[in-house]
Every structure is written in C-alpha cells, then in structure tokens.
Amino acid sequence: MNHPSPEVVLNDDRHLGPLGPKILRIAGGLGIVLLILGLVLGITGSGGGMSRFLFAYTAGFAFILSIALGAMFFVLVNHLTRAGWCATTRRIAEITMGTMPFLAILFLPILISVLMGYGGLFSWADHEIASKDHLIHLKAGYLNPVFFTIRWVIYFAVWMQISRYYLGGSVRQDDSGDPEITSRMQKWSAASILLFALTLTFASFDLLMSLAPHWFSSIFGVYFFAGSVIAFQAFGILVLVLLQRKGKLKKSVSIEHFHDWGKLLFAFVFFWAYIAYSQFMLIWYGNIPEETGWFHTRITGSWGGVALILVFAHFVIPFAGLMSRHAKRNLASLSFWAMWMLIMHCIDIYWIVMPNQGGHGHGEAPGVHFQALDILAIVGLFSLFVAGAAYIGRHCSLVAVKEPRLAESLAFENA
Amino acid sequence: MQASANADPKGESAPVAGILAEFDGPGALKKAAVQIRDAGFTRWDCYSPFPVHGIDPAMGVRPTILPWIILGMGLTGLTIATALQWWTNGVDYPFLISGKPLFGLPANIPIMFELTILLSAFGAFFGALILNDLPKFYRPIFSSKRFKKVTDNGFFIGIEASDPHYDSKKIQSLFRQMGPLSVEEFHDTDPQGALPKAFFRVGIILFLLGLIPLALALKSRHSTSSSPRWHFWRDMDFQPVAKAQRASAFFPDGRVIRPQVEGTFAREQADDNPHLNQGRVNGKFATTFPMKLSMEMLERGKDRFDTYCAPCHGKDGRGQGLVAKRASTLGEGTWVPPSNLVDPRIEKMPVGEIYQAIRYGVRNMPKYGPQIKVEDRWAIVAYIRALQRSQNGTIKDVPEADRGKLK
C-alpha cells in the first residue's frame, strides 16, 4: 500500500481563511447578546434574579473550561506518550486550549462576586453566613476570598503558560520545521501534566465542590477530569467534521483518525461512569450526613430524574451506541454521539451546579426549575468560547505541517 | 521440483504436507496473497515476523466474530453476577448489612462489573486461542528449515495439502510467476504430531493428586471424628485476649483488669447529681423521681422495658418471660427465677432501689447500666410503677367518665 507523503498536508486546505472572521462575528455577537439578555433578566429579578444568573454563568463557565482542559490533556498526554497517530489532528486541541486567556477574562464575574463577599453564589464568601455556620467557619482557612483569588491566579498562570508553550511551539515549528521543538515539548510534558492534574483537581474543588461548602469528595477532581475529556473529544470530533464539511483538512484527517477519537470518547464514557459510580458508592455505603446531603438533593425529587437521565443517557446508551467499530467509523453516527455526549456533559455540569442555588449549598434545595436565563448564560458562554477559538486559529494552519510524526500519522491504520 | 537444498533426508521421505513460498518483504507478500485468494484456496496462511497492515483484506479474511463472543461472555458474566447476588443475599440467605437493602443495586455493581470483565477477558483470551487453533505444539510447516526465518525477516505463504484445490505442480508454477525467493514442499515429519507423552503422564499424575483433597473433604463429610478440628487460622481461633478476673503474667501486678488511673473517674462515677445518677437522696434510696413524669416518658419506658426486661420478667412483669419459661422447662439447677415485679414487695420498694437494681444488677440479674442510658433507666422504673398499678388497680383508678365502658 502506498503511504501518502507529508506533502499531501501542505497542499491541503488547512486555513480557516474567511471562515475565521465569520465565526468570530457570528459566535462572538451571539454570545455577547445572549449574555447581556441573561444579565438583564438577572438584574430585573425575573427567573431567579442575580443569584440565578451567576449560578447559570458558573455552570456555563465550568462547561467551557472543561472543554479547554480536556484539550490540554489531549495535547499533553499525546506528547507524553510520543503518540504519532494524532499528529494531523493535534492542532485542533492546541487551538482549543489556546483560549485560556479568554477564559481568564470570562472568570472575572465569578471572582468579583467572591471578592465582593456576595453569598448568593458561594455562600462561604459571605462573611455573615460563614461566621454563623460552624462547618464553613472551620474551612475558612481554605475557603476565603483572598486565598481563592490567589489560587485562581495560579491556575490560570499555569494553564496559560502551558497552552502558550505548546501552541506557540507547534506554530513556530510550522515555519522552522525544527524537530528539536518536538523533543523539548515531549520533555516538558511530564512536568506539565503533573501541574495540569493538580490545578484541574483544585480548580474543580473551588469552582464546583465549594458551591456546597459542607460537602467534600476527594475523587471529585477525577470526576470533573473524566467529564472534561469527554467534552473535548466530543467537541473536537464535531469541529473536525464541520471543518471537513467546509472542505478543509480533507487530505490530512482520515477515517482512521476519527476512529481513534471515537475510541477515546468511548473509553472516557466508561471512565466517567466508573468514577461517578465510585464516588456515589462510597458515599452511599458510608452514609455520613455531610457526604450524603449532596447526593440526597440530587437523587431525590426532580433532580433524581436528572440523575437517572445521566445514568442512562450519559453512560448506558452511548456506551452501547459507541461500542461497535462501525459506529466510530461512520462520520454521521460518530458526530451524532459526539453531539449527544457534549449535551450530556452540559447536563452533568448543570446537575452539579444548579441544585445548590437557593439552598446555600446545603439544606433543602429546590427541585429542577429550568429558567430561560440558564440557557442564555450557557449558550452565550459557549458561543464566546467558539469565537475565542476562531480568534486563536484565524491565522495559523489547522494542522501542524512540519510535525516530525506527520508521515506516521498519515499512514496510520486501525488494524 | 525445486527441493530446498538443506531439507533433512528423513523429512524427504515423510508425506508431503503442503507448499511453502518465501517472498521479499510485506509488499510482495500482500500481492501474492491477493492472487492466492483469487485462485480460490481455503487452507492456506501468510506468515510474517510482524503484523502486516492490510493483510486481512488481501487474504480475504472475513472480520472476526471474536467481538461477539466477548460481548456474549460479558453479558453472561453480568447475568451470573446479578443472579448470584440476588439469590444469595436477597432470597436464599437474607442478611442485613449496615441497614442497606437486602438487594441494593449500588452494593452489587462492583461484582457485576468484575464478573463482566472477567468473563469478557476469558472470552477474548480463550476465544482468540480457539479461533486461531491454538495451542498447538507441532505443525508440519515447522519441518522446513527455511521457515525458521519467519520470526526474523522471512515472509511466507504456505498452502496445505489438505486444500481441495491442492495440486502441487500448479501451485508451484503459480508461485514462481510471483517472483518468490524460494518455493519448496514441506513434509509432515511427525504425523502423530501431538503433545510429547510426558505431558500426558504429568497431567494424569497432577489430576490424581488433585483428587486427594476432594476425597479427604468427602470422607470427613460422611464420617465422625473424635479429634479436635483443624485450626487453619490460628490467630483468629486463639486470640491473645485475657478474661476478666483471671491472672496474667503480662502486667507486673499479675492482674488482668487494670486499676483506675489515679486522679481520674469514669463518667458514671460522677456524683454531681446522686438523685439522678445513683437513685439516692442523702445516702438513702430515693422515693421520688428526679424528673417530671410524662406520658412520653412512660412510652419510652415501655419500649425499653419490652426490649431489655421483658425477655425474663415478661411483658406484664410477673416473671414469666420467654427466657424464664425456657429455663424452668430445662430444669436448670442454677437458675434463679426472675422476680415478680408487680408483687407487693417490689411495689413497696423505693424507686431509687429499683433504679439501682437496673443499674448494678441484683443477685443473678446482670447490670444493665452499660446498655441503658440514665434517662431510660428512670423511664423503665416509671413504667414498672405503671405496670404495678395496672395489675393491682381498683375501679376507683378508672376516671368516672370511662367506668361505664368496663362493663
């Protein structure tokens, strides 16, 4: 069999071109309009008021942050394992994680609410609530606005540095073709993935777990990580399919690459279920009030219905649907499942975040009360995220043309 | 016929088992495989030092059914695990653990998961072996010396003589057209071709040895023995614990029970409220309750009395509980019958003395202090008083409005 030479990639349609500004205009404009609408609804107090808007905003932010972190994992783990198969598709992940500076800006509303001592989002941030609640009071050494700010500065510093280094290095290699860049990136991937794991874990504690400050679960970081990888694999598959539909990357990315992206998505569908169940089972068995409270609000009443949706639609159904190799090698079915998982991940985040609203994260939480501003905030932030990715990727090549493992990736075949 | 130059003379005389052709690299191998496939052969194979991409379609190999075997085995494992746990825990031997449901799904998922994985792995491993016709210690093709290169740098196609289209001359000329490095016939030098006999001998001996433990187990199930049983886990059967009131060489003073540390006292030794804790007022048994009586307290007392006292004293307090009845049926010599709590002797007893009996025990009755909380002890005393009243009451104790109902 004749293996295509790397020149194929050079001749491929591999730039966003006029598509870039178009996405930037449409997605950016849509995002800003939706967010402003949501904010107006929040200020006027309809649909739950400012607190509700901030909760919906946090859910949306956690959703897009998880996609970017999943992309970072994809880049780092493939450098760490010196993977060749993904070389033609890795730039998509690099561009996705390149949105970190935008995410840092989008985090500001959450940070400001904490610094203002607003208890409607993080109840521990409100000094009055914190001083009356014995358990929050005991955790004040960690859960206080100043230390929270310091931690998020560290997280974003690490994430921006990693994404700048890996995206920048890869783009520089497009011109110079210096293989030394690849070996340097491989060398740093070990330390980077360690920092990535620590920052992701603590960021998930801070952003999502501390919404219910009484609750704690040491596996929560892994749970968020599993969802993040699902989110990015699904997002990446959709981006690649849409780009190919626009005639781009048709020679660089083959069904073999999609098959492997699908395998990773399938693997993490199961990994997510494994971790989610591990978290649930220990708490269910231990039956300790501080731990069960979180699950009690989420598996009884109307939130219990959402939990069942997660069990079946986030795990059982896509697990069966993605199992066959034919499902992963058919772009229509693969992109269907990618879309499905992206929505499920969003519901998962919604299920983590929203029951905290109204109950200060403990006590009796209200049931599912879906509000218009929820969708405004989540879709608005996702649109801004897509616009940010289009901004990062508007000039650079969508595939790393001088990547030393390009030939290996083009010749890649699933036996 | 172009026989291999280094074929051993003994092999030449053995029956022909097939034809072997060597090709120059994976590309040539794949091209040749396509032609052999199209010629309609069925009993043949390609041999290479590493997996060759695209060899399956070139050979016309259909996709393996192994995934379906694995899926079937996995579902079997899932079903077995579910049924096993449902039957053992939920039906055959219901045993309540930590107040969880007898068949609660969360507790059973790990076993369901593990057994699914285990049987899937068995299906994958043994299924792959069986589908590949393995393990096999001998194949006729091994008799070719040239074939030893296959684990190093040789690429071969071998067609077996059992193929329905087998025709030695036609096949050899077909191979020659493909530009092979060599073509040769290979011979079945060991038609028995089975395992060495030693394997069977060792296998039979191991099997027979394996029967010994089973036979021993069977024997002991159907016979009696006067010797003590075997202790497999000695540290569980013989624990290094000492019984109260025995001597021990462990401590210098030779006692097992440790004296109270100087300057400390146990919580129940506190005498800040002797009426409540000891049932005494000014050193004498209290005749009043240390708290206000209430219906709630009587209800609690009834509940505790039925749990702790009724087994011996009976629910009516007359000393005819199940334990007492059973003991008098057996005629145990050492048994002291429990007191009748509603007889005049105990009716006249101060409440503090009844309290003390609960707390420290009396005669054969052990102390219930460690099991029953202070408030509950008083609640039981109050309930005993109510029992006494109920057994020895007169019409005057019934409220006038309700007297009519008694008739």
What is the tens place of the pLDDT at every residue in B251-302?
Answer: 888 888 888 888 888 776 777 788 888 888 888 999 999 999 999 999 999 9
Chosen from B34, B48, B50, B53 to mutate, greatest number of chain A CBs within 10 A: B53
Across the interface, whether the CB atoms of B109 and A287 are under 8 A apart is answered: no
Cβ-based burial of A104 (10 A; exposed 0-12, middle 13-18, buried ≥19): middle
**pLDDT recorded at residue B9:** 47
Average pLDDT of B336-357?
Answer: 91
Across the interface, whether the CB atoms of B106 and A415 are under 8 A apart is answered: no
Instruction: Quickly state the pLDDT bin for B335 (edges 50, 70, 90).
Output: confident
Round to whole Å and give the CA distance between A148 and A210.
11
CA separation, residue B295 to residues A34, B44, B300, B302, B374 (Å)? 63, 93, 9, 11, 18
Residue of A nearest to B51 (CA): A415
Residue type, B50: F
Cβ neighbours of B79 (radius 10 Å): 14
B46 CA to chain A: closest CA distance, Å? 16
Select the residue of B30, B53, B107 nearest A285 (Cβ to Cβ): B107
Interface of A to B at Cβ within 8 Å reads 1, 277, 280-281, 284-285, 287, 413, 415
Q: Is 80 exceeded by the pLDDT of residue B317?
A: yes
**Which residues of B fall within a CB distance of 8 Å from A277?**
106, 109
Select the residue of B53, B100, B106 nearest A280 (Cβ to Cβ): B106
A270 CA to chain B: closest CA distance, Å? 12
The pair of three-digit structure tokens given for residue B251, joined into one six-digit string? 């401590």
Q: Which residue numbers in chain A have pLDDT < 50?
A: 1, 361-363
**Which residues of B fall within a CB distance of 8 Å from A412?**
none
Say yes or no: B106 contacts chain A, CB-CB below 8 A.
Answer: yes
Say yes or no: B111 contacts chain A, CB-CB below 8 A.
Answer: no
- List the 19-48 stretch of B: residues with Cβ below 8 A of A: 30
Say yes or no: B96 contacts chain A, CB-CB below 8 A.
Answer: no
CA separation, residue A383 to residues A55, A191, A378, A386 (Å)? 18, 32, 9, 5
Condensed to tens digits (0 to 9), the pLDDT of residues B111-155 reads 999 999 999 999 999 999 999 888 887 888 988 999 999 999 999
E strand or H helix at B25, and its extent?
Answer: helix B25-38
Chosen from A275, A285, A413 to mutate, greatest number of chain B CBs within 10 A: A285
**pLDDT recorded at residue A3:** 60
Cβ-based burial of A87 (10 A; exposed 0-12, middle 13-18, buried ≥19): buried
Residue of B nearest to A1 (CA): B27
**Which residues of B fall within a CB distance of 8 Å from A413?**
53-54
Pairing mode, if any, of strands B284-285 and B280-281?
Answer: antiparallel
Round to whole Å and give the CA distance between B339 and B334.
15
CATH class of the domain whose range is B271-388: mainly alpha
Across the interface, whether the CB atoms of B53 and A1 are under 8 A apart is answered: yes
Select the residue of A1, A284, A413 nearest B106 (Cβ to Cβ): A284
Residue type, B321: G
B238 CA to chain A: closest CA distance, Å? 31
**pLDDT recorded at residue A63:** 98
Condensed to tens digits (0 to 9), the pLDDT of residues B38-61 reads 999 989 999 999 988 889 889 998
Q: Where are the domains of chain B?
A: 1-192, 271-388
**Which residues of A fall within a CB distance of 8 Å from B98?**
285, 287
**Which residues of B fall within a CB distance of 8 Å from A415?**
51, 53, 56
Round to whole Å and give the CA distance between B143 and B7.
9
Q: Is 50 exceeded by the pLDDT of residue B313?
A: yes
**pLDDT recorded at residue B404:** 75
B60 CA to chain A: closest CA distance, Å? 14
Say yes or no: B50 contacts chain A, CB-CB below 8 A.
Answer: no
More confident residue, A277 or B96: A277
Condensed to tens digits (0 to 9), the pLDDT of residues B202-254 reads 999 999 999 999 999 999 888 888 888 888 888 888 887 888 778 888 888 88
Select the residue of A1, A281, A415 nearest B109 (Cβ to Cβ): A281
φ/ψ of residue B327, rounded to 5: -65, -40
The string over A289-300, giving b where at least 16 C-beta atoms fall within 10 Å of a residue's C-beta and e elsewhere, is eebebbbbbbbe
**Which residues of A fall within a CB distance of 8 Å from B110?**
281
